[in-house]
Structure 1
């Protein structure tokens, strides 16, 4: 038996998940808040065009901040990050009048809040310039309106890159570039950059652009800091200094077209010629973007509610889910391959709990490509990406959670063009090969680039000692990773491997100290030394809860509930159903639970393992949902590449994917009979595919493999309706630990 369980919550709205066409004329884009990523023309598009804003020492992760000064409009951003900004490259900045020093401070306040919709973005600057943006997958269109009867200037600064002010060594650096202007009035060039949150070495982005009219003058520049070394009519500059060009026009209305590529300037020009012609209007690009997002994403979930707040929350969350990863097929400079290539994986630590499962339900074709791309990265780079950007793996926060994602796909029957023998070999690399140490200053003990840096302890002791940072949280995640290997090994008929990895998936138990106590509870996962002794630990504390601590982003209370493949054992360890329920309650009573931290995501749904307590998962789900809104600050934490948005979407759907969950695009209709969705939200009864259902969980095959229906009857009071068999706990059998 394979396990793909989903926990039943409550469906707060009637929902149709569909792989078919949406209702004719329905424009879901009207409900979407697009401000913080800017313009993304299509799901997974490489170009993400928007403003770059400075506001004191606040990191602008995706370029956008609601307050502060705009200092450029750049072609590429990595939306939803939380560690440090990435990209913010290939930038333009409009300036009123002649530019005496393009290296000086040119930023502008905004005269009005930015405006945007799917496919379009507009900023009104204090200098009177209005900037309108639209884009395609590999190119962008700028439409400038300058004040009348004044000189219009546009500065292209190759050194422009989003900074980080956190002081953690994750800031990006400009290494050098080149800029050339040609007689046919187009320009080309490239910029090379490094570092950022994933600590990547030098990577290069190429660009090719042109304006709607010839400039009245063009000057190129080069210099350091704000000091110019040259500023003249030379048509080509290159070097490690800041450099670029200043275009001056005698017109107040100017259009700028730019293509980008990771391959070459000529490929950037080809992308521009293929996607945005001289005759292409901004309005036509906006119309195309709206059609694509409606057809490919927003139409996949439709709700009965006419409440605008509900609609904005739903469809804004769907946008946040599918901005990254970036589909860079044909734009991979690292190797030649017929396989798809996806980059900007940020990060499986964030997304494997709930994002990737919904990704597959709503985008099954792209999801299969994404799995193939991950395996192909292993073929050529040696390891699966746990995180990746600018064509470079990094950074691993906990386990090798690509293993969970691949296992998720395998047990659902995702096959297509995936080579699962290679897929399993890639997972085995994570499980058996220690990656070289990349000497991360925040965690110098082992690799944070890829794989499992603490694998030597895992293989020798069956646990992770504190000589490795994040020892306990890594160990818990390594257990779930090994459970993923077990599932794929079993499916491929590799019985010996299956038994080994099932056994290893129970190693989290080796961190369980039954004598560690907190708030009337005994037994928590704690650090353990090489001699086998446990390190005294207050489960409520985790020092900084960061890179060089024994727990990452949460404490022992949370991580002790994260062995979700072995819950029956966990219940036994904590003292049975009553104590298990109290332990989950304490997460909320003691304000431990943090909806903005991914390790907490699954905790509220463990009530489903306790007879008669499914209603508490519903109650907690309602509490968590209220932490969200559709505004620019509407998430309880960083988006983390759509992790937060997908978490909310599972709440709204009324299901929770605990181990794995996926879909094949067929129809699942979820209905809810309720007098008032705000007060009557407890499940009274449920029918699945027309038949009465008495379990607080479903298998993948029940409603997703071939589609189906779920009919909830909801009411204002809890009801003990889930009297059937409890959810599976597949790692809790009798096989002894070695």
Structure 2
């Protein structure tokens, strides 16, 4: 079956078997359009690595990240976006739209009103995108291309020979029409449009202010003005507008109408800021004083090539489409979080400030661990930013966007991000302050624990679980997700215990290690699971279940919230005791103690049987992050070969190089980093110094560590591209010496080395011995592996 699936997928994806392409730069294998359709919600436009300015065409359809390849209409061009998120569209502030001419050559003949009423189709086949650049052609004859610096977007708008007086209209809105108020000013002499607005975050509380400064070049000005709803006029140059009245949203903005451009092109330079309008203008003037589009584009490409450098693939005949999938996944790990250093209006600090942690529940598992390997300098800045947020606001964020607190989806998983960086010896971080921040999460409950920290801490400490309908008078948040929160709190405490141990806080270590075992308090040995029609889901007994404050059991069907259920268990529309996943999937989320979990579920064979059923029954959603670790958990039962086989059922069938090549939201690079790790032959157990090993998807993958300069290579021996059977490790050598463990530590990357995996078409005994299994608290052996010796 696996063999047939592989051959069919090769045909469907149009894989041409490539020769060795190591001479070509990784840059050419990045396709920002991968995942831009059918819910991937990736940002497809122009950005720098971790850059604030993100320019793209916004569309009227699936516009969560501005652009989607869904053939909906282009509503404008804006320069602030997030990537891969779900829910409401994020940002898209102050879009520019262009009309090549107005009816009767009069302002009264221009189209104002809503962005949807002005929307224009794009020409099929005109879209081009690569890192730092995006372009398309509109059916109205305008061709637009864009590139960016850190805080500024530069657009080229190309017009046909018959253009008369093109109109540039700036809209005081955002993608979700969340504007609360805004101000705009148009300079009639220079055509400069500047202003600001107050907007709402798309998945959080509060509001934020955004500022812009737009300049134009390439044609003389004919007239300028403002517009409100369906009408524009040239008499007024200033406008203040609020949201509107009742259900009526006021459409408003400013415009500049030009005479015919001499060379057919008008440029627009859009400076952005979160501090002031003057800062937005200064950003634009300092970053793009020359208006040289090709220079800005080349500089952006160079920045991406530098960040993508240091990862070397020997494809061994693997097709280009697979390499595109791999390198584009890596690319997406560097779109967010965004570096807003120097743009923070909330507090002054010499520390970096990063935003769009959207959300850490998604990204702690693979995104931040991948950056630990590939971009440790950037990750150190992000961790410092998280700690500085705690220093000034009192809490580590769980989710954060546009200087607002985002909704907590589970535990305080910034604890895992910081713990992961700690056990991997990331440098340049104040670990004492970091420790105070994570202990604050574990010990103190904020009033607004729905957006930071943890709720129900009194019950957590006294009962060892979060009860259903907990009696919690200290703070307020989503009074549900009691099962998934309990499991995540247990792992959060484990990560804090690891930090406590390393920092010499021995009493704390024992306390948090004890709390990390609280997952056992929700295991109900006699609980069964059934489909709605009464058929058993695999004849398994024993599942996690919610518990009441008095210790009695509640009930949630283990089937509920799975992809086979009729209702999706989101944050609030269908609140249940698990978040975005079923108890069937959450039963495996005990990363700190797989050994005890395996014994609890009946031993290795029974554990593997459950994992197989989860993956093969349709109960698992591979597009959601809790599923990722389950693909590799066969390692803990002594069957690493099954992890390799399981991954091949998802990549490339669900993750590939097509525009709908993602099975769900990219979640700010979470899917991209999952792909990058899996195709490299590794998976990080976030918060632990552990990477699980499977054969890479290529003949070899190498990572040059950016700080130490050492090269870590994972190489397949007996590799044959396209062979669906030769995917099992028979034996391994690390730097020429026999290596039987199914995992490595971070020192493999910082110190370098060559891990050779000898492949065969059947499972061998590599990685199956008790001493070869990944570390686990209940395994009866030393957990703390700080070296590969």
Which residue of 2 is the match for residue 463 of structure 1? 465
Counterpart contact for 2:524–2:545, Cα < 8 Å: yes
Correspondence 1:258 to 2:302: no
Distance 1:478 1:270, change over 3 A: same
Counterpart contact for 1:34–1:116, Cα < 8 Å: yes
Which residue of 2 is the match for residue 377 of structure 1? 389
Q: Which deviates the most, 479-488 or 724-733? A: 724-733
Bigger RCO of structures 1 and 2 (CA < 8 A, at least 6 apart): 1
Counterpart contact for 1:155–1:244, Cα < 8 Å: no
TM-score, length-normalised on structure 2? 0.83
Match of 2:650 among 609, 621, 624: 624
Which residue of 2 is the match for residue 534 of structure 1? 553
Where 2:49 maps in the other structure, the secondary structure is coil
Which residue of 2 is the match for residue 688 of structure 1? 734
Counterpart contact for 2:198–2:208, Cα < 8 Å: yes
Distance 1:715 1:343, change over 3 A: same
Which residue of 2 is the match for residue 75 of structure 1? 79
| Deviation per residue, 1:170-227 (Å, 9 max, x gap) | x73443233342644433211221141223x22111111211146433332243xx34
State how 1:162-173 maps to structure 2 within 5 Å: 162-163=175-176, 172-173=178-179
Which residue of 2 is the match for residue 181 of structure 1? 187
Counterpart contact for 2:167–2:256, Cα < 8 Å: yes
Where 1:449 maps in the other structure, the secondary structure is coil
Counterpart contact for 2:339–2:353, Cα < 8 Å: yes
Which residue of 2 is the match for residue 15 of structure 1? none
Correspondence 1:674 to 2:718: yes
Where 1:89 maps in the other structure, the secondary structure is coil
Match of 2:112 among 70, 78, 102: 102
Match of 2:311 among 300, 309, 324: 300
What is the deviation of 1:59?
A: 4.7
What is the deviation of 1:97?
A: 1.3
Counterpart contact for 1:324–1:345, Cα < 8 Å: yes
Which residue of 1 is the match for residue 92 of structure 2? 88
Q: Aligned partners of 1:318, 1:511: CA distance in 2, in Å?
A: 37
Counterpart contact for 2:464–2:521, Cα < 8 Å: yes
Counterpart contact for 1:262–1:333, Cα < 8 Å: yes
Q: Which deviates the most, 394-403 or 246-255? A: 246-255
Where 1:76 maps in the other structure, the secondary structure is coil
Which residue of 2 is the match for residue 231 of structure 1? 233
| Deviation per residue, 1:111-142 (Å, 9 max, x gap) | 22322222221111111111111111111111
What is the deviation of 1:160?
A: 2.5
Match of 2:28 among 27, 30, 34: 30
Where 1:128 maps in the other structure, the secondary structure is coil
What is the deviation of 1:549?
A: 0.8
Correspondence 1:39 to 2:59: no
What is the deviation of 1:24?
A: 10
State how 1:436-585 maps to structure 2 within 5 Å: 436-437=447-448, 447-467=449-469, 468-518=479-529, 519-542=538-561, 544-547=568-571, 548-585=575-612
Q: Aligned partners of 1:464, 1:298: CA distance in 2, in Å?
A: 46
Where 1:426 maps in the other structure, the secondary structure is helix
Q: Aligned partners of 1:198, 1:494: CA distance in 2, in Å?
A: 35
Match of 1:718 among 756, 763, 784: 763
Counterpart contact for 1:54–1:65, Cα < 8 Å: no
TM-score, length-normalised on structure 1? 0.89
Counterpart contact for 1:347–1:387, Cα < 8 Å: yes
Counterpart contact for 1:161–1:174, Cα < 8 Å: no
Q: Aligned partners of 2:441, 2:551: CA distance in 1, in Å?
A: 25
Distance 1:260 1:24, change over 3 A: farther
Which residue of 2 is the match for residue 331 of structure 1? 343
Which residue of 1 is the match for residue 258 of structure 2? 249
Q: Which deviates the most, 26-35 or 725-734? A: 725-734
What is the deviation of 1:584?
A: 0.9
Counterpart contact for 1:521–1:574, Cα < 8 Å: no
Distance 1:658 1:25, change over 3 A: closer
Correspondence 1:727 to 2:731: no
State how 1:574-613 maps to structure 2 within 5 Å: 574-611=601-638, 613=639
Counterpart contact for 1:94–1:152, Cα < 8 Å: no
Correspondence 1:655 to 2:682: yes
Counterpart contact for 2:556–2:577, Cα < 8 Å: no
Distance 1:460 1:59, change over 3 A: farther
Q: Aligned partners of 2:487, 2:677: CA distance in 1, in Å?
A: 24
Where 1:110 maps in the other structure, the secondary structure is coil
Counterpart contact for 1:72–1:107, Cα < 8 Å: yes
Give structure 1 regions of 4+ aligned residues with deviation exceeding 4 angstroms: 661-664, 731-734
Q: Aligned partners of 2:598, 2:47: CA distance in 1, in Å?
A: 48
What is the deviation of 1:673?
A: 1.6
Which residue of 2 is the match for residue 640 of structure 1? 667
What is the deviation of 1:365?
A: 0.5
Unaligned runs of 5+ in 2: 1-20, 37-42, 243-249, 470-478, 530-537, 562-566, 692-702, 782-789
Q: Aligned partners of 1:182, 1:503: CA distance in 2, in Å?
A: 69
Counterpart contact for 2:341–2:353, Cα < 8 Å: yes
| Deviation per residue, 1:212-259 (Å, 9 max, x gap) | 146433332243xx344x622323222325432211112232111111
Counterpart contact for 2:396–2:452, Cα < 8 Å: yes
Q: Aligned partners of 2:410, 2:721: CA distance in 1, in Å?
A: 38
Counterpart contact for 2:91–2:201, Cα < 8 Å: no
Match of 2:408 among 396, 413, 419: 396
State how 1:112-131 maps to structure 2 within 5 Å: 112-113=124-125, 114-131=127-144
Q: Aligned partners of 2:446, 2:514: CA distance in 1, in Å?
A: 23
Where 1:238 maps in the other structure, the secondary structure is strand
Distance 1:30 1:161, change over 3 A: same
